[in-house]
Structure 1
Amino acid sequence: MCVMCACVRVCVQTEDGEEENLLENPFSLELEFVDDPNFKNKVNYSSSAVQIPTDIYKGSPTILNELNWTQSLERLFIDNRREDSSLRWQVFGSATGVTRYYPATPWKAPNKIDLYDVRRRPWYIQGASSPKDMVIIVDVSGSVSGLTLKLMKASVMEMLETLTDDDYVNVASFSEKAEALVPCFKNLVQANIRNKKIFKEAVFHMQAKGTTDYKSGFTFAFEQLLNTHRGDPLVTWHYFESLLPNSFESEGHVFIAPREYCNELELASNNTEFLFNFIALMEKVTPDSKQCDNLLLHNLILDTGIIGQLVDKVWKNKDLNTYGFLAVFAATDGGITRVFPNKAAESWEEDPEPFNASYYRRSLDNKGYIFRAPYRTVRDDLLNPENDTIGVLVSTAVEISVGGKTIKPAVVGVKLDLEAWTDKFKILASNHTDRQGSNACGPHSACEMDCEANSEDLLCYLLDDGGFLIMSNQKEDWNKVGMFFSEVEPYLMYALYNSSFYNRKQSYDYQSVCEPIPTSSHGAAPRGAFVPTIADFLNMAWWTSAATWSLFQQVIAGMAYQSWFITDEVLAEGMDSRERGCVMIQTQYYFTNLNSTFNMLQDCGNCSRLIHAKKINNTNLLFVVAEKMPCNGCEIDKLSQEEEEYKDLNPCDEVARYRKGPSMCFDNNQSENTSDCGRGHSFGPSLITLLAIQLLLLSQLASPSALLALL
């Protein structure tokens, strides 16, 4: 039955077409319906309609009260359609079974008997209930054959219809033993349309036979509910489709952190190979599998979806060339790094593990935007700006407040095209005020710090917080981007350091390995042998000393290889080409002067120049403008950031090493066996052994060549 509502009229349209007014309002109006192609039906946009299930008494006070207070929704429905004309049906369902829908239209029952009840509709169940796990066990023993089995099949199918995509389910049959109705569904699977269809087909073909063992059925059910290996592998795999290489061209390249997500996951040094291994495993298992790290995988699924939306809704809609971007990227703590577009991944050299990547750690540890140029030293080949595309990474952490706490689950950023942004840099850094007036730059007038207009007279630089060059208005410096600034402009870097803009910190690596010290000292001697003198033979103590044992070993080796008395060139003092241990000094520079603006005069004796430095807010950048040095330069100690060996020329100047001693001394252990302590003096060679060794040595030394060697 359907209730048509116009203004304050509430009526019931019966099967024979007659209307019964439920509220007995004399001011009710008849509804007029018009054909609407959008709904493919006759509708009335000024009213809503109500449907009441057949098995509910329409005159119940509860129903009448429901009809009365839900009529206020009619104005809301109309306003919604006015704000968004693309809206179609708007429906409200209540726990009593009343359905109010807009726009009003004559109700058409799907069958001859109207069994429609909003409380059994999937959208109502999904919204009114929380996700649930369900195991349905069906007794298929011989005692339930016939009509009983048919009713049980119908009940199971109806129960499956009440489940939604948020629910997980499995169905088992039992008689003597219990087993999953669908053999490949060994655990709970998502109650989606595909899986429910498979279940229904299996339920339809159930047959009754055997005896009943309820214990097996309940044991199966509880094991299913306790098993954390939940989910449909195909559904899980769907989350990772965007990680497949065939989606890189449209979605951007994906790097996945090489973590041990599951025990059976085979790690690989190649990212693409690791992705294939990961996807292949996800087709077999689910994030809730016992063999997997559930937290890692669930974070990975969440991050994959979020980054995918970022690509579809933001990145794809932007022309990166317009902004001077070579790439945009995002990295998450879940282990996903996506670089867009795909071709930008060819020059991506960052670590696929975000927590090992420099830009990621620095973005988490600092506020604002972190600029980082590709690190270079004077030993590296210079970049060619005309042939090489030079990119500068700019990244920042994503901050989210949850429960009063701030978390940083991801880092996003761009890769700037250096050539495009150098032009922007010169314009942004320029002083455009009064260019043609009294402050205009000229041969005999004071120049403003205008980087664009005076690029031949002024040096303009962007340096990061470690003293590395990020940008310059001098084209000849573009191939030095990423170098320590002292290698580009040593006098200017020294002035910044001397003015406390940068401070220096040195640390010592006591476990370094250095190249061997070359030597040209050589000598000739029997290779690897100690040659005793006649005085040694006359000294009987020598025969029982450690030298005797050493000589005996050398004699045996010489007899085996016939090379004991061969003379060859050897390095003096046994020197070889092995590497040696050394101490290395590591030097780092960092910001100390955080003043917004600083002006200084660098005096070099014969000449001087003005320097202007300013820290750019919300970044790790220092903007430096200086006049070109009018003379050859200053006498300074060039600053270096290179690692170098520590030369310990004076032992008294050795750097103190920190060591923390034990808090207490352990000089006794009750479980220690000390009965054998001090018995080493009792070990020694037997007399017979010593005599045999002496006879062997005398026979070897009896030859003329041996006597000459002894002399």
Structure 2
Amino acid sequence: MQQELVTLTDTASGVENLIQIFQSHRKYFSVGSNDASQLVANAAGNIENLLANRSRALKTLASAAEDFQMWHRWKNDPELDSNDTEVKKPNRLYPEFKEDEQFRRLISYNTTAVHIPTDIYEGSTIVLNELNWTDALEAVFRKNKEEDPTLLWQVFGSATGLARYFPASPWMDSRKTPNKIDLYDVRHRLSPRPLSLQVSGSVSGLTLKLIHTSVNEMLETLSDDDYVNVVYFNDKAVKAACFQNLVQANVRNKRFLKDAVRNISAKGITNYKGGFELAFEQLSSLNVTQGRALCNKIIMLFTDGGEERAQEIFQKYNADKKVRIFTFSVGQHNYDKGPIQWMACTNKGTEHTRTQTHIRHGPEYLDVLGRPMVKANNKAKQVQWTNVYQDALELGLVITGTLPVFNKTNTKRPQNQLILGVMAIDVSLDDIKRLTPRFTFGPNGYYFAIDPNGYVLLHPNLCPKNPKFQEPVTLDFLDAELEDEIKVEIRTNMINGETGHRTVHTLVKSQDERYIDRSERSYTYAPVKGTDYSLALVLPVYSLHYIHTTIGDTITQAKCNLFFSSHREYCKDLKPSKNNTEFLMDFNEYIDRKTPNNPLCEYMLCSVGMFAHLINLYAGLDWTEDPETYESSFYKRSLDNDIYIFTPTPYQEDTNSKSIVSVCLSVCLSVFVGVKLDISTWMTNFINATLKMNHVDCVILDDGGFLVMANRDEYIGQIGQFFGMIDPILMVNLVNMSLFTLNKTYDYQSVCDPKRESKGSAAGLRSVYVPTIADILNVGWLASAANVHGVFYVHNPYFAGSLTICLFVCVRVCCARACVLHLCVRSVCSTADTDDEIPDMSKESCITEQTQYFYDNEEKSFRGTLDCENCSRMFHAEKLWKTNLVFVIADAKLTCMSCDHKPLIQAEQPSEGPDPCEMAEKPRFRKGPDACFDNNERVGHVIILSSSVFKNGNRQI
């Protein structure tokens, strides 16, 4: 079998003919070298220039906005321009939108567009004044676009919720989502998700739901630069989750904390002093070596009323007023607010009232935390880039550059100046990828880039499963690849902005995530100047050189008359046309002006010169495969192995598709050859060779444990199935004998169906996150802001059965910061219910796990006996030389039915992921900004807000 498979593959693939053809055309080719350091330097320089251009545009916009607002004269009764908002009214003029190739949607370059959240009255005095002065931004938007036609969305997001963007475009495409409700709010980075808080008896009610929603909202204002923990207390303070200290406020940790809050029940009586004491201890014990310096420390208190002030605790831990206290009175009640107002005023914070109608307003405490930045002025004006996310207006994966806009109006109280909003400009990842060409170093070479948190900006494995899922993509480099000690070191060096080179013998997961190979990779990295990104180039050994074509004359090119061209963007400045004749005329004119000196052309001509004769042999073949092989798993694997790689078609249930086995072999440096075997024919040969005996199972598996051939007719429909699903006990024994080694990997970019909640569960208040302008008005939008660590308390100061939740939060507002949030709720709550909300059945982010099996030793023969309850089965396994296959013969499964037949699952399945508690004990290295805007002597004191005052747009000092 072994010899026949190899001989067939050699003959059918024409590998010897290919070698001869290459030798006969040797004069047309030369070998070039890839200088990894120079490639990285060039690509990093190109990315630096791209982001620098966007940064200059941002600074121009921010400066103009500050001037426009400063010159604007406030009007108490301004008139509403009939064209300013999106609401359809008869007297308004609407721009003519046209489909735009760059934006991939309807666009008008003649004007700007304005988006106003649904819960803001567009005719209010504040909104009308903002509409008036921001209208002047249109000229600056337009000038930026003229100077740089590659600019994408330019946006101003106001602290009031108004968003003005250019070019104008319908916010929602009614052609694609005619019934979609617009809940976008520029003030929200991430809005609360529908979560159930299941508590016992008397603590279920609207007030508790409001507090729960408020906790979620505050958690979502935290970015990956912040730290957080949750503690609840009654008689004593207890940590809600397993986190012993403040942890990074990343997506996984915040989700874990939300689950912990949901599972808290009320009992006992409240001890304010114990809760505050634990909160202050958590803040004081923050590990400052985790990459962020302490900056803004905050405690937030959410309550429905209380009498205790805990004065001695504040005197003991906060005599110097380094920790701000923010208090929130939740729900509609008549309790005395004096104690919580005193806490806020005494500790440089604010007091607010939050009701159901107020729940969607932006976090008010940001005004206070933002004032030191306003006073710092230019020192605080650093362009920051968001995490990768899916653009709400259909640009695909993007990052957004943000810059704060400060209020510079001369007033009698300049110490109370606020942040007006944020300027934002999108950069598509496709534009960045174009600056990192990779066709000279093959499909297994690639660029990647990371930020100071270790999250990837570029990486071939950065591919969210659901392209419509609107949540920032925070994929760590060590999760994008298979982690080892050297990669941890590389990641640390890159975050520190170092330049270097390392060679690694590492495990490589295949493109389809079913296989693992061992290979050598070289990592060359350097910082992207002017940003906090770092860029790396990964090359296998065989990519250090490449074939360079010297086919320059037209006659020689014409001899290579037939080949299958990959679908790549060869001519970036040649626009397609719907009319084929027009396109051909444009193309002829284009090639008369342009010489074929593009590196892609050399790659293409190289392929033509080598394959022309072979393709002519199969000119009658109907080609149905994708001609682009760069992303094919079997192609990439063949380059990392010097043997024949047999790959069965992945198994799919309920399908009548024909089973095919692909066989590939890499040849020298430049190409690989392959054939496809009809499994039906080979099954017949295999059965004849192994004899069709009922008491013996004969199978051939590949190096991932997938079935390639078998001697039983009933197996022909399971070709490509993981063998652990067919004969679990035999597969387990093959693993135990070290024929196969397993490796479990997690996918943090997956999406799953949401879990349905029972009718008895409490549904939280919802809104939707659309992050186009998202990372702007919150404590996490500016990466040089500050870190806030916080603690939430939920309590009942009077009755037994009280509930107290402490959420220790670390929020980044001007740099590194810490805040503590307190939530307090009475156990006797309103019985108003919101269970009639319709659950959101769209996909939600989740973690999945998958197990890969691979050969991890050089042994060729394996034999043993697997014992069951009252019978046993002997087996023998032999690896087939020069292939990735193993032949296994064993006593038939039907001869010993008392064995454990529980399937051994290899396929992707939902998972809880790694233990967050263990990960929190050993956090990964991160690095934060050096600037900190935590305090300023010129900044004013506390502002106290109430819901009725807020509605009128006034503030009480």
TM-score (norm 2): 0.31
Structure with larger Rg: 1
- Higher RCO (Cα < 8 Å, 6 or more apart): 2
